[in-house]
Chain A
Amino acid sequence: MKNYDIVIVGGGPAGLAAAVSAKKAGCDSILILERDTELGGILNQCIHNGFGLHTFKEELTGPEYAYRFIQQVLDLGIEYKLGTMVMDVAPDKTVTAMNREDGMFTIPAKAVILAMGCRERPRGALNIPGFRPAGIFSAGTAQRLVNIEGYMPGKEVVILGSGDIGLIMARRMTLEGAKVKCVAELMPYSGGLKRNIVQCLDDFGIPLKLSHTVIDIEGKEHLTAVTIAEVGPDRKPVPGTEERYTCDTLLLSCGLIPENELSRAAGVEMNPVTSGPIVNESLETNIPGVFACGNVLHVHDLVDYVSEEATRAGENAVKYVNGAEAEAGAAGGNATTGAAQAEAGGNAEAGRAHVIALAATDGARYTVPSTINVDRMSDLLTVRFRVGDVYKNSFVSVYFDDERVMHNQKRIMSPGEMEQIVLRKAQLAERPLLKTITVKIENE
């Protein structure tokens, strides 16, 4: 097997954008490993439009959006392997993978970009009581069956969870002639984008029942009915509010889980809030030269932001590879520390590097990244985060240690919509003693 400087695990939107940017940044030795039989990842089954408004300033379908990047990968001559499962990423960045043609093989990469995406939370993880018949699908599985395979799971549908895929599938199933009876959401707010509530539920008269959940599933062989009940503030069902819906299909859209089994096995440190790796300003994990981007890092709402993030990961991986080479080249002569190492060394903090921690408190749940090495950050750095509840007319505040430096009012913020702030390098560079940047939500 050939050696590659950068191995990208996953050929979905994150992996593709990372590959393109790494190539454009001057790296000619890149390999994408994709487990499916096509590049493009889950976008291939997202045949609805609404992709690309930020990136391309036009509305594309999922496959069209993916193809814009696939085309670049092809034009730039970036190598990729399909039907290839990565079995292991070792801490020394040796990647072990397997496919039908090559068998099991290893590649000692100089940098690895983790772009495995995420998976859906299944029924089992929700502990929904009742029978376990056919007719229960995670929304994305149903989406694949309908849009790729061309088969319908059923005709009378209840959806639990108001994640975006569930909302999209409410509309899709309706267009296919199914009756979507309701969407139940455990939380008092939707987990999806506002625009999807409007376009996929409101426009089709599908009720969204907030603070409701499924408390029973009937049907020994095939689903026949579910019972939905209102939940109190403790998220426990309120007796007397039960409503039975006959249905043959239950779709679940109750959250996405970054798929980090490989990362964990490699020793990558995880953020328990995002279930994704802890990364620095370069989107680099605690293992120098291992980067993460896209939904494996934290679940995004918009693919445009995935592409943007992955572009940065690709560029930073090239910097890492070049830095490591410069260092190796210099190793024979005088030991060069300082600049080269700062450039090269991931979280291994180089001597006097100015590293700032990011904290999320008071309604802000997390930030990506978690740390910033001021010397290595770009002039503008986007920090993304989510809020833990619905906030109306509240303020996003940013504190540099105890000093409030940003205080922006937002009409509405909700957990289903990712928020962001932008930090300027100059602003941080002039505060050499700054230790912590805190993002919080304030009422006034």
Chain B
Amino acid sequence: MYDVIIIGAGVSGAAVAWQLGRFNIKTCVLEKCEDVCEGTSKANSAIIHAGYDAAEGSLMAKLNVRGNEMMDELSKELDIPFKRNGSLVVCIHKEELGGLKDLYDRGIKNGVKGLKILSREEALELEPNLSEDTVGALYAPSAGVVCPFELNIAMAENACENGVEFKFNTEVKDISKGEDGLWHIKAANGEEFCAKYVVNAAGVYADMIHNMVSKDKIRIIQRRGDYCLLDKQVGGHVTHTIFPQPTSLGKGVLISPTIHGNLIVGPTAVETDDKEATNTTAEGIEELITKAGSHVRNLPIKNVITSFAGLRAHEEHHDFIIGEVADAPCFIDCAGIESPGLTASPAIGEMVAGILKEKMGLTEKSDFVATRKGIVRTEGLSVAEMNELIRKNPAYGNIVCRCEMITEGEIIEAIHRPLGAKSLDGVKRRTRAGMGRCQAGFCSPRTMEIINRELSIPYEKITKSGGASVIVPTRTKAAGAAGAAASCAADAGTQANLGAAASKESDGEVTGA
């Protein structure tokens, strides 16, 4: 029995888990995928929004601004790459200049600091590649870029470190209130859980989870957004995050450097009934290229290294739904978390934990660990630091991903951390191995070798991202035949190998002596 069960290990669920980690309670996160950060949290603009977009007085506005404020400290505490690069909402039609002023006014009311309306000249000086048509821009210095994977993973890791349990491949199928007054949860894999409180952080599925317990139905509409990610070679094409003026469908197609130095272009906004429709479309990508080109000149779109799509969990009233469900006491919704959900996530965690703290009378742990140290990043280390690292662990001298220059040491660490990587995508999101211009063409066989070795997962079972996503389901004829012949001798072989390793070690001792 748990005090709190959180459904979903995306950025909202992880943020709630992170905040609950400080209290003396038993918390568990149920996640239908094999890893954290598998849904909307992994496929978005990765922007820390300033907070001028959301309607004044909305929860969205409040949590956006609060989340933005929390990022400096959070990024230090949890060791997450974050940079305030500033954003520009660019106006290219004179008659729409008034729109910038409206955004400015709303931003001021929302509590956004440092906003400034720039003339055409000022905007172009700040960002020389803006369109010739630029007539003005709203500058928000507090906007930033973050690694969305690491934000999600870091909060989850810290929660794990502080005793929060995570159950992966655990899809919630049914929730009911028992006569014992507890929530009883059935998972698709047959497991059952019960808890005093449930937090619904199920992303695009938050309506399904909510509707299992409440008569007051909600509806999440998936809004698909296609993105293109461009090579680091052109990552400096703009240095600020460039937005068009917003419309009813959202903030529009942005162009931004990413925290890791790529250029991101997107998203489109297409509504879909399918909660799994993360497929890109030819029309979507076409639209991106056209729209992005109207605000930034000479967009180097031919340098695309990948395209992807994410689903925003759009709630029909366009605000976050956070709080206890009226007809389902002890069930807390965290629904409709669309943009600026990533920005707001730490504040969402804080708010939900606040609600639970008050209702449950939570007390803080004495041994709470507030900080988390990320995976050693070899990029940017000096030669001396690098050599010190390699001396201690030679795996840091072996580059596995040659595009992003990721070492074997980093991959091994990603695998063995709390909530460690189990798949190629798990490694990729934690280390960036495979995220570069060759898109894992070179490093995936090598990463598979490391996963096979470190986790004793047979090659045939290694996945791209869990489930049915196996990479090489069978052996070749020759290897299969050799394997069959050798299989009876396998134990002996292992022993022989161990023997060899052992004798090597004793050789070392002799030499050492």
- Chain A residue with the shortest CB-CB distance to B472: A151
The reply on A244 being an interface residue by CB < 8 A is: no
**8 Å CB interface, B317-336 against A:** none
A/B pair count, beta carbons within 8 Å: 151
**8 Å CB interface, B402-442 against A:** 402-403, 405, 437-442
Asked if A100 and B397 make an inter-chain contact with CB atoms under 8 angstroms apart, the answer reads yes
Question: A125: which of B304, B397, B480 is its contact (CB, 8 Å)?
Answer: B304
A264-B234 Cα distance, complex, nearest whole Å: 13
**8 Å CB interface, B199-235 against A:** 228-229, 233
| Tier of interface size on chain B | 35 or more
A221-B471 Cα distance, complex, nearest whole Å: 10
Asked if B304 and A124 make an inter-chain contact with CB atoms under 8 angstroms apart, the answer reads yes
Question: B398: which of A87, A100, A149 is its contact (CB, 8 Å)?
Answer: A100
Nearest-neighbour CB distance to chain A for B168, whole angstroms, equals: 15
Q: Mark A362-391, 1 if CB is under 8 A from B, else 0.
A: 000000000000000000000000000000
Contacts of B460 in A (CB 8 A): 151
- Given A35-B402, A103-B387: A220 and B276 within 8 A (CB)? yes
Nearest-neighbour CB distance to chain B for A378, whole angstroms, equals: 34
Asked if A222 and B445 make an inter-chain contact with CB atoms under 8 angstroms apart, the answer reads no
- Given A103-B397, A104-B390: A120 and B441 within 8 A (CB)? yes
Asked if A127 and B304 make an inter-chain contact with CB atoms under 8 angstroms apart, the answer reads yes
Chain B interface main SS type: mixed
- Chain A residue with the shortest CB-CB distance to B478: A150
- Given A129-B284, A144-B445: A150 and B475 within 8 A (CB)? yes
- Given A130-B280, A145-B472, A221-B468: A151 and B441 within 8 A (CB)? no
- Chain A residue with the shortest CB-CB distance to B284: A129
Asked if B473 and A152 make an inter-chain contact with CB atoms under 8 angstroms apart, the answer reads yes
The reply on A302 being an interface residue by CB < 8 A is: no
A153-B306 Cα distance, complex, nearest whole Å: 21
A129-B309 Cα distance, complex, nearest whole Å: 10
Nearest-neighbour CB distance to chain B for A423, whole angstroms, equals: 34
- Chain A residue with the shortest CB-CB distance to B383: A104
The reply on A246 being an interface residue by CB < 8 A is: no
- Given A83-B398, A100-B394, A120-B441: A129 and B473 within 8 A (CB)? no
Asked if B386 and A98 make an inter-chain contact with CB atoms under 8 angstroms apart, the answer reads yes
The reply on B169 being an interface residue by CB < 8 A is: no
A65-B480 Cα distance, complex, nearest whole Å: 27
**8 Å CB interface, A111-157 against B:** 119-120, 122-125, 127, 129-134, 137-138, 140-141, 144-146, 148-155
Asked if B469 and A221 make an inter-chain contact with CB atoms under 8 angstroms apart, the answer reads yes
The reply on A29 being an interface residue by CB < 8 A is: no
Contacts of B470 in A (CB 8 A): 134, 222
How many A residues touch B, CB cutoff 8 Å? 53
Asked if B402 and A134 make an inter-chain contact with CB atoms under 8 angstroms apart, the answer reads no
The reply on A85 being an interface residue by CB < 8 A is: yes
Contacts of B228 in A (CB 8 A): 127
The reply on B444 being an interface residue by CB < 8 A is: yes
- Chain B residue with the shortest CB-CB distance to A142: B472
The reply on B477 being an interface residue by CB < 8 A is: yes
**8 Å CB interface, B449-507 against A:** 449, 459-460, 463-480, 482-483
- Chain A residue with the shortest CB-CB distance to B452: A149
**8 Å CB interface, B265-307 against A:** 276, 278-282, 284-285, 304-307
Which 9 residue pairs are nearest across A and B when measured between Cβ atoms?
A: A150-B479, A124-B306, A151-B472, A122-B439, A100-B394, A134-B469, A134-B464, A103-B387, A85-B399
List 13 additional contacts besides A131-B278, A148-B445, A248-B473; criterion CB under 8 Å: A83-B398, A98-B399, A99-B398, A119-B437, A123-B439, A130-B279, A131-B279, A134-B465, A134-B471, A149-B449, A149-B479, A155-B474, A216-B279
The contact sample of 19 A-B pairs, CB cut-off 8 A, is: A85-B398, A103-B397, A104-B390, A122-B437, A123-B306, A125-B306, A129-B284, A132-B308, A133-B469, A134-B463, A134-B465, A134-B468, A141-B445, A150-B480, A150-B482, A151-B476, A152-B473, A153-B473, A176-B477
